[in-house]
């Protein structure tokens, strides 16, 4: 005979099932849309990214790797190494004073054809986090090594607050992520990243050139209706720290008020299962027009869409699509005349 308060085996199992079916028996599951199920991120990390649109991982990249990237950058500055298709941004006013050194070069963009720098995009510790946002089929594009030069109050290398999706003609946005690694300490003094937490849930805003005094770099667009009083967070980072952030997160960087440099290396990753869009009649239409004007002026190419698709290196699908910049137009023309369709020498893993 059963003791009072106890259940038989079948009855106990039925009672457990009924408790699970009762919504009051357990807290409701929260749906996370900005990360995918994985065994890398903790629940707390996934929720933080869900709420804020960025996630900072400390000491993810080793000092040894960062030193290798730094040395390669210096070789590029000295023109000891040439990077096909890369855009080398310089402060021409400093060349007469410093010559071909890192004191002149502000950025190396689209470094995919440099084997040493491209190692950053293939680091296992980077990719294991990237997959949490993009899924297993990964494309890499829009690579940059930024060397923020001393700028005092000139604002020459101040990047206005913007959303990276403005530059990308593919979707879905939620399967795109930027990996940005500090190559040395980055803080408010030397122009660290500044983010507006939670803005990744907003739509893509109209962008253009900011109305401020001083020089504005080409294609350094910012949000036109940006409110300077918006609450922001300065991401103070040490060497090797890496932040992953959503392409709709509003962010930028300040000026470098120190006498040294502030280096970072970054890459955008996206799911290769995504799709391209036609940017005509969208907030990105003016950007396409500007790219076309640059292409026509520099390379005599009057008809060009914002996207130039190349079959390129990929981690799992042997394909990556590169965004069109002025430098990539030249790369596209060069490669199409030299390489067989679907492959680029030295780019595959």
The pLDDT of residue 202 is 96
The pLDDT of residue 270 is 96
Which domains can be identified in the chain, with CATH numbers?
Answer: 36-277 (2.60.120.620)
Residues of the chain with pLDDT under 70: 1-30, 92-100, 152-158, 212-219, 286, 291-349
The pLDDT of residue 347 is 31
The pLDDT of residue 76 is 95
Assigned token pair, 175: 């399967």
């Amino acid at each position: 005979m059963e003791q009072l308060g106890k259940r038989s085996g079948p009855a106990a199992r039925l009672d457990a099932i009924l408790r699970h079916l009762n919504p009051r028996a357990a807290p409701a599951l929260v749906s996370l849309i900005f990360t995918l199920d994985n065994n890398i991120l903790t629940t707390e990390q996934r929720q933080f990214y869900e709420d804020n649109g960025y996630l900072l991982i400390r000491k993810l990249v080793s000092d040894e790797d960062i030193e290798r990237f730094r040395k390669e950058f210096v070789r590029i500055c000295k023109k000891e190494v040439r990077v096909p298709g890369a855009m080398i941004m310089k402060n021409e006013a400093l060349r007469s004073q410093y010559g071909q050194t890192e004191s002149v070069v502000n950025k190396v963009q689209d470094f995919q054809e440099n084997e040493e720098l491209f190692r950053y995009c293939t680091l296992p510790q980077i990719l294991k986090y990237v997959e949490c946002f993009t899924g297993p089929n990964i494309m890499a594009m829009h690579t940059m090594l930024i060397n923020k030069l001393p700028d005092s109050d000139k604002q020459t290398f101040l990047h206005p607050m913007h959303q990276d999706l403005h530059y990308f003609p593919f979707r879905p946005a939620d399967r795109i992520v930027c990996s940005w690694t500090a190559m040395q300490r980055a803080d408010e003094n030397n122009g660290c990243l500044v983010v507006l937490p939670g803005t990744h849930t907003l739509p893509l805003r109209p962008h253009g050139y900011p109305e401020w005094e001083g020089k504005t770099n080409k294609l350094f667009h910012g949000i036109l209706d940006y409110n300077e009083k918006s609450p922001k967070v300065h991401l103070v980072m040490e060497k090797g720290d890496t932040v992953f952030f959503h392409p709709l997160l509003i962010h930028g960087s300040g000026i470098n008020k120190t006498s040294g440099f502030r280096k970072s290396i970054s890459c955008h990753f996206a799911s290769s299962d995504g799709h391209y869009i036609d940017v005509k009649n969208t907030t990105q239409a003016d950007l396409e027009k500007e790219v076309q004007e640059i292409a026509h002026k520099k390379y005599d190419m009057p008809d060009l869409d914002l996207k130039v698709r190349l079959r390129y290196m990929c981690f799992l699908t042997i394909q990556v699509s590169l965004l069109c910049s002025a430098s990539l137009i030249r790369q596209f023309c060069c490669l199409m005349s030299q390489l067989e369709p679907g492959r680029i020498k030295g780019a595959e893993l």
